[in-house]
Structure 1
Amino acid sequence: MDKAMEYIDKLAAKLGVAAEHVYGVLVKQAIANGITNVVVGVILLIAFVLTVRFMIAILTKAEYEEVTHYYGDSKTPVNKYAKISSAGGGSVWVLIIAFILISSVAGLVCLTEGFKALINPEYYAIKEILDTVKGE
């Protein structure tokens, strides 16, 4: 911790400002990062909910028509939901499920990190100083 305070003092001396000012700026930056993370997390979770609703709509509203061919019976999409469902031989479902997984996990991580930074910005300011001292 003494190394961190020495670093703050050196940084403040180079910038020509007081060490308290440098620490205050780092605290404000931690708050700004927290707000940004919360906003991004909320946007990702909204995208997650909308994608799940879209997937449920595809599953429940898809309509097919039975068509008999010389080679056998097949289902032909009747409405747009059925066309989306059968597009790409299932690749649409892979993309939807991948997006659902990625958006939910990333959204929760962003929200968690954002709230932690908003609740305790001093910790993140000190962590930033220590990471800089360590050379990370």
Structure 2
Amino acid sequence: MSDDRYRALNQLGQSAPAPTSPDEAVLERVEARTGGKNAVVRFTCPEFTSLCPITGQPDFAHIVLDYIPDEWLVESKSLKLFLQSFRNHGGFHEACTLMIAERLVELLNPKWLRIGAYWYPRGGIPIDVFWQTGLPPEGAWIPDQGVAPYRGRG
């Protein structure tokens, strides 16, 4: 990469193996350059996978991350690798959801962040987990996450 602002990125533009755990995963960031505007950035991961910490069986979720950056954006390839690292991670739905949010808040210190994790049923009961840092800035347009509640096959 020719731009000096991107020299610190170690995953973008090159082969980067999937981390074996979320703790091992490296999240990277780039300068936001939004001019102070309250632009909402959305990442959608409709095929998120982790493991039940008790049975080792896979759990699946549709995750929607919305945030309003301050100085930093998360570099998307590093986010993809971070989310992929949960495939071998045993954690309850709530813990996985909050781990994702907390790592992003720590990395980015955004003006605002929310996560919606729509987990597919386990034992016949879907579990949805929601969290946000607080109220969004006044005047920011926050779209609906667009994920319908689980209704089975009907």
Q: What TM-score do you get using the length of structure 2 for normalisation?
A: 0.18
The structure with higher relative contact order (CA 8 Å, sep 6+) is: 1
If you compute each CA radius of gyration, which structure gives the higher value, 1 or 2? 1
Task: Give the structure with the larger helix fraction.
Answer: 1
Task: Give the structure with the larger strand fraction.
Answer: 2
Q: What TM-score do you get using the length of structure 1 for normalisation?
A: 0.20
